[in-house]
Chain A
């Protein structure tokens, strides 16, 4: 269960060059070879670009003539045309503009929620794994407890009962999804704790904080990164499901989830309100999953093609 490769792979023909071994280059080469992952990666880059464009665009458009929040009632429920490539919604808002402006919000929800969960997971996992004993026991029982909750149900309860705001949703998703990270960070720490370089650091009288964050953590980060990427996809899906049940990010901010949720009553009259946001969610989460999986395969020597 080691994370970073410790010795160069001699079977790969391209590694027989004289260049010095670099884990990063090794990783990149394997990742690039994974066609689904690399295409998914470029899709994510494109999404990030769209998100960036949407943010710089501000309210209305340097790049697009329609404002995502500007209503135009007489133009309501128009099917896709050249001027409205994804149609208009029930108040005559341009769905394309709304989708574009929903991109940064949907991505933000995923990214920050995962940042929250990874931070908590690393903290708890490393403390438990490094100190062991009573600390480990208490923290792991806490983890067990968190894992016992039906997660989506718990999120739903909290979001339904609290003020629905984008922050609450992010925090709740983050607070309920860190247990996996905590568990394997702990496992990594348990192994790494016994390694010579850690022993040496301990013997050298370094502080616990320094050992945890400078010496052990960097070695345990690779799998954390993989799970974080996979977690983003999960968080985006969770946000969409919450929106669908009416507890998503409140208006006027458009997210893919609430464009879809608002459109569902028009399902028999305006299919474009359901199809496009659903596709966007699907493609985005799929891309994150594929990139995550590609990273995992590129990192894990056992899964390497032989």
Chain B
């Protein structure tokens, strides 16, 4: 009975085969090579620093590439590919006439003794302008300087935004930019007032900046009309509402322009206002093309960073690294067809120059103090990429986006899509040879499975969830690393909602939500109460702000004071017949946020507020609710960068910008000013002063219920790795792995197994050349 035997035996044979497979491979399980294995839940998809947006890409790129600068363990900027850098500034003051300019120059000359204090090095006069060479960028020099000038007032330097709706033909014809520029010149020549247009260019798609000196509203209004006419048939406003593009003009109108309504005059201002913010002052709303006054300054300040690049650095393919690569990186960031998500930090750049192979000069349009941080940007090799139509559409033979070539401590070895990426050490790394021969990055999509895989030794270190901490601490096999992270969790109140417009109500809510209990039970104690928009790992955080504290009685009293009482006895507070009821929204898939929402629901129920919790999928959550300002309250968190700039999140000018990050519509003129000061100030002490004040004010306003700064946790098998890194004084430092402000990965390129032998130690080549 052959058939019968086959049929009955086949399942048994199969199972035996699997058993055999298991038995054969069993002796090999658990054997590990000398390498560092990491894991993540997602594949990086693309490894091009210009294009990538995912966290896994960032980690791998940090091994493959270097920036001109980088952050050291204290989160301070230190030179990397650039050996050193210099910051200077050229400032220009414009005057009504050459005579006035000469008088101003004389006044400044008269105070030569005080120049050094201001960082002023030299002045030159040319026609009606005075040019200052400053050793320190920023606007700090102005106060003293204007005192010297006395009654001689400079003409304001202004910026205007030309807004061209995205659905005009404009985008398809880049040549039109030139047409507009030609236009500017023509209109300028014809204008009776002879205003001076300094320059104008296409900034991002559909938007252009015009810088002028002393142009008044009438001139700009005319310019706008003529510009719109020049576009003529090209402007097709009727189709605007048909296109489903998210940023249609209709949508702009739908967002109540909170700040505009208070400041925008219906007619053109007779003269542009003096220094100080005046966002959103529009001249006319007629026509789809608009010129909007952006802002003005009493002087034109243009900082300059001079990077002096390290000599002898080589790309992984052995070609030398030069300033042309740095320049190419900037050009790639700005090239429209690359549509780089990292572009924003570089838009304030006026131009870059490369006087020689190892000098890279960056000129800024205005003082922007976080600019140094932005040069942590990974530098990409020009010789491999120049000539491509765009980085998004590389020619078939070029696999740079999947197999990047950098200058970093590790080189790409293999990318097995959605399984792992392996990197091998770069023996010629400019800082010295890394110790571990290989770094592997695994992809395990399910976090729970990843946890199990970590416990079987499938990878070497893992971020762990708060609730797992106790188990790992008890387990003698593991060591735990912890430290505050540069982030915070919060509940955002939509300040456009009548419920939350009253500051007393928001403060009452802060007392009603038991932050301490949330930290204790959701984070298992791994966090500290948040007291503002900066994390304690940065110097910007204000240590003197005290958290509100849990006090439901006080909350009830404050709500009663604000008019919220339970008049109809249904257990829910009401005011003017309206019950205090709202929805709290969050994105799905983040257990911590879900727990926060559920606990908040309970805490508020206790003081008579009915909360409905709704979870949305992330993209829907952002697009339909957050971006559209279509929510009452939301649970979210910010992961911050180390710079001090809060413009995008808290500046009132962002309220009206569709899709911007000030989605709670926070507006406080004093905070606006401080934010602007903080982002133009290069003196760190002063920046701290501003940011501490900002923290205090925002915390007192309670646009968010600031919850906590989470403590981040990671586990690693005991005694596996140490750090052996070059110190600043040229000595090798050997130390256990510890957590720094940047997390504990900051010296990962210098990780070493304990058993690395003496002769394998790389010779240190401090500074320049190996």
A contact set with B: CB distance below 8 Å? 69-71, 73-74, 76-77, 90-92, 160-164, 246-247, 250-252, 262, 264-269
Mark out the residues of chain B between 590 and 622 whose CB falls within 8 Å of any chain A CB in the assembled complex: 591, 594-595, 597-599, 601-602, 613-617, 619-620
Q: 19 new A-B pairs (CB below 8 Å) besides A162-B620, A251-B598?
A: A71-B599, A71-B602, A73-B521, A90-B467, A91-B595, A161-B617, A163-B616, A163-B624, A246-B588, A247-B617, A250-B588, A251-B594, A251-B597, A252-B601, A265-B447, A265-B465, A267-B451, A267-B452, A268-B471
Is B419 part of the contact surface with A, judged by Cβ < 8 Å? no
Cross-chain contact B616 with A91 (CB below 8 angstroms): no
**Closest Cβ neighbor of B625 among chain A residues:** A163
Say yes or no: A264-B448 contact (C-beta < 8 A), given A77-B467, A246-B589, A250-B614. yes
Chain A residues whose C-beta falls within 8 Å of the C-beta of B447 in the assembled complex: 265
Is B205 part of the contact surface with A, judged by Cβ < 8 Å? no
| A242 smallest CB distance to B (angstroms) | 11
Say yes or no: A266-B613 contact (C-beta < 8 A), given A73-B599, A246-B589. no
Say yes or no: A250-B615 contact (C-beta < 8 A), given A73-B517, A163-B620, A268-B471. yes
B contact set with A: CB distance below 8 Å? 447-448, 451-452, 455, 465, 467-468, 471, 517, 520-522, 588-589, 591, 594-595, 597-599, 601-602, 613-617, 619-620, 624
* Complex Cα–Cα for A250 and B599 (A): 16
Contact of B595 among A90, A164, A250 (CB under 8 A): A90
**Closest Cβ neighbor of B465 among chain A residues:** A265
Chain A residues whose C-beta falls within 8 Å of the C-beta of B465 in the assembled complex: 265
| A94 smallest CB distance to B (angstroms) | 14
| B622 smallest CB distance to A (angstroms) | 13
**Closest Cβ neighbor of B619 among chain A residues:** A161
Say yes or no: A71-B614 contact (C-beta < 8 A), given A76-B521, A267-B448, A268-B471. no
| B451 smallest CB distance to A (angstroms) | 7
* Complex Cα–Cα for A92 and B517 (A): 13
| A253 smallest CB distance to B (angstroms) | 10
| B608 smallest CB distance to A (angstroms) | 16
Cross-chain contact A268 with B451 (CB below 8 angstroms): yes
| A43 smallest CB distance to B (angstroms) | 30
Cross-chain contact A91 with B599 (CB below 8 angstroms): yes
| A273 smallest CB distance to B (angstroms) | 11
Chain A residues whose C-beta falls within 8 Å of the C-beta of B448 in the assembled complex: 264-265, 267
* Complex Cα–Cα for A91 and B467 (A): 12
Total A-B residue contacts, Cβ distance less than 8 Å: 68
| B513 smallest CB distance to A (angstroms) | 13
| B385 smallest CB distance to A (angstroms) | 35
Chain A residues whose C-beta falls within 8 Å of the C-beta of B620 in the assembled complex: 161-163
Contact of B588 among A92, A247, A264, A266 (CB under 8 A): A247
**Closest Cβ neighbor of B597 among chain A residues:** A251
* Complex Cα–Cα for A90 and B468 (A): 12
| A24 smallest CB distance to B (angstroms) | 42
**Closest Cβ neighbor of B599 among chain A residues:** A71
Most chain-B Cβ atoms within 10 A of its Cβ — which of A73, A246, A265?
A73
Contact of B468 among A92, A250, A251, A269 (CB under 8 A): A269
Say yes or no: A269-B467 contact (C-beta < 8 A), given A71-B602, A73-B517. yes
Cross-chain contact B617 with A266 (CB below 8 angstroms): no
Cross-chain contact B616 with A164 (CB below 8 angstroms): yes
| B224 smallest CB distance to A (angstroms) | 41
**Closest Cβ neighbor of B524 among chain A residues:** A76
| A29 smallest CB distance to B (angstroms) | 36
* Complex Cα–Cα for A266 and B599 (A): 19
Cross-chain contact B588 with A164 (CB below 8 angstroms): yes
* Complex Cα–Cα for A266 and B451 (A): 10
Chain A residues whose C-beta falls within 8 Å of the C-beta of B599 in the assembled complex: 71, 73, 91
Chain B residues whose C-beta falls within 8 Å of the C-beta of A73 in the assembled complex: 517, 520-522, 599
**CB-defined A-B contacts under 8 Å, sample of 11:** A71-B598, A73-B520, A161-B617, A161-B620, A163-B620, A164-B617, A247-B617, A250-B615, A251-B598, A251-B615, A269-B467
| A167 smallest CB distance to B (angstroms) | 13
Chain A residues whose C-beta falls within 8 Å of the C-beta of B613 in the assembled complex: 251-252
Contact of A164 among B521, B615, B619 (CB under 8 A): B615
* Complex Cα–Cα for A168 and B471 (A): 39
Chain B residues whose C-beta falls within 8 Å of the C-beta of A267 in the assembled complex: 448, 451-452
* Complex Cα–Cα for A144 and B173 (A): 46
Say yes or no: A91-B598 contact (C-beta < 8 A), given A162-B620, A265-B447. yes
* Complex Cα–Cα for A252 and B601 (A): 10
* Complex Cα–Cα for A70 and B452 (A): 31
Cross-chain contact A266 with B594 (CB below 8 angstroms): no
* Complex Cα–Cα for A43 and B32 (A): 51
Say yes or no: A268-B617 contact (C-beta < 8 A), given A91-B521, A262-B591. no
* Complex Cα–Cα for A13 and B755 (A): 85
* Complex Cα–Cα for A246 and B620 (A): 14
**Closest Cβ neighbor of B624 among chain A residues:** A163
